[in-house]
Structure 1
Amino acid sequence: MSEIAPRAKLRTRFKPTRLKLSSDHSKRPLDRMSLHDQLVAKVREMIVDGELQAGAPLPEKMLCETFGVSRTPLREAFKILASEGLIELRPHRTPVVTPVDREEIANSFAIMVALDGVAGAEAAMRATDEDIARLSAMHDQLVTLHREASRPAYFRLNQDIHIEITRLAKNPVLLNIWTTLNANIYRARATANYDAARWTESVREHEAFMALLRARDAQGFAASLSAHTRKTGDAVLATLKIATDTKT
């Protein structure tokens, strides 16, 4: 029985060339990232502010022409906004602004109230003096934005404050659950600030729970934070009900 001849070695091998970068290579990724961030922020703002209504189509060609960008950064921005629950990506179809489900929002707020209670108690016990000073500075800026009626900037900073409080609880599981639920109610939560009376009331609630945090009153801070979230949820659901009744 004859032996099988060994397979001949391939004569041609792939030889990777060394990557050559131009002297200004560090600028291009930063420029791309900046463009991506700007697109995410702009489209998010248009949705949160109601310029893009629930269910509205988001045609890529029109948006690319509007913002003067190619489809690649726009699609990357769409992915981020979809992860936040603001838009719905549909295979082979135009993306749309995600409709707001009132029942889902109600269920999400019910859990958020409980989570804020846990996060508030833990944050008050674990926060350092520097942490509290940083939150106080953020709160002072929040009050200024309210006085200036800068609603979009106020809403973004308000979100940052709530995220920071949850982060200070130093519980990664809690932070992950909170962040996921908050993404579901992100746009709906912004609607509460359209009501001037509720907006002013919300600022007063922030004043109250920040005073309790500075006093290191963990139980009081947790209760006040939960109450604030519950009232915000009630205001959001009332606004959504009015919108639904108006359509019907």
Structure 2
Amino acid sequence: MNQSNGTPLLLRTRGMAAEIAARLRVMIDEGELPPGARIDEKDMCAAFDVSKTPLREALKVLVSEGRVTHRQYIGYRVAAIDLDDLASTFEMLHGLEAMAGDLLRQRVSAAQVAAIAAKHRRMVECHNSGKRLEYFRLNQQIHQMIVDAAANPVLSTVYATLMAKVHRARGAANADMLRWSESMDEHEAILAALEDPAHADLPEILRTHSENTAREVLAVLDRTRANSASVQDARTPESSGEPEEVAGSDQV
């Protein structure tokens, strides 16, 4: 095949790979594919209606990003989350939330409060109708809007960077969040503090909400890791001389 014939096929493959990578990235970051989950190439090809070539190109990208791992004879899995690093990141976020709340007491405008309140109402609607994923996305946006309203660009940038680090963890825990209603109540308290002209309680309310969120996310992920370890132990064959069945060995 000459180059003129081969190039369009290569471009199509690369374009498809980028689209698949973007879709898988969202599935991983928002918890649809949890940490440790096996990525079955056959199932994914069927789901995306593609061949293995663009899928594997997409998976290579996600491996380079640290979202996916690959082992020969084992296949692809969603990367585990480092809980120690996650806990440290959350500790930083607690302080940034409180700092933003303190700055907001002098700087937030009525227009910014109104915009946050409008986004909050949409989040309440998602909560009431059980739209967990949409709720999660709006929740993330509201937190960034609150920090941005503190009018400190450095704070906003650092906060956004750290939130990106915990986004996948929050998404993974979101599918099993036991305190959804409690979190909703805390957001109601945040909005009430924003709408209070004094904003006196805002720093502490924001910090407490951040701490409660971190506690639940870490607990959910710790349970998930323990359950996964139990399953792996149950599947490990006894030393009877029989060959171990390798997960993912059906991959081509």
TM-score, normalization by structure 1? 0.70
Q: Which amino acid aligns with 2:144?
A: I
In structure 2, the residue matched to 1:240 is 221
- Give, in angstroms, the shift of residue 134 of structure 1: 0.7
Count of aligned positions: 211
Structure-2 separation of matches of 1:59 and 1:113: 37
- Give, in angstroms, the shift of residue 125 of structure 1: 2.6
Alpha carbons of 1:163 and 1:80: their partners in 2 closer, same or farther (altered >3 Å)?
farther
* 1:13-162 → structure 2 map (5 Å cutoff): 36=19, 40=22, 42-48=23-29, 50-56=31-37, 63=44, 66-68=47-49, 87-88=67-68, 96-162=77-143
The answer to which structure, 1 or 2, has the higher relative contact order (CA under 8 A, 6+ apart) is 2
In structure 2, the residue matched to 1:182 is 163
Alpha carbons of 1:234 and 1:192: their partners in 2 closer, same or farther (altered >3 Å)?
farther
- Give, in angstroms, the shift of residue 144 of structure 1: 0.9
Structure 1 unaligned spans of 5+: 1-31
Q: Would the aligned equivalents of 2:123 and 2:138 in 1 still touch at CA under 8 Å?
A: yes
TM-superposition CA deviations, 1:184-229 (whole Å, max 9, x none): 2112223156234x10000000000110101133441111011000
1:195 pairs, out of 168, 171, 177, with: 177
In structure 1, the residue matched to 2:205 is 224
Instruction: Name which of structure 1's ranges 74-83 and 108-117 shifts more when overlaid on structure 2.
Output: 74-83
Q: Could you say which structure has the larger radius of gyration?
A: 1
Structure-2 separation of matches of 1:172 and 1:60: 43
Q: Would the aligned equivalents of 2:30 and 2:167 in 1 still touch at CA under 8 Å?
A: no
Structure-1 separation of matches of 2:96 and 2:187: 17
Structure 2 unaligned spans of 5+: 1-14, 231-252
RMSD: 3.5
TM-superposition CA deviations, 1:155-177 (whole Å, max 9, x none): 00100101111111222221221
Give the % identical residues: 32
Structure-2 separation of matches of 1:206 and 1:110: 19
- Give, in angstroms, the shift of residue 59 of structure 1: 7.7
TM-score, normalization by structure 2? 0.69
Structure-1 separation of matches of 2:101 and 2:135: 21
Alpha carbons of 1:76 and 1:215: their partners in 2 closer, same or farther (altered >3 Å)?
farther
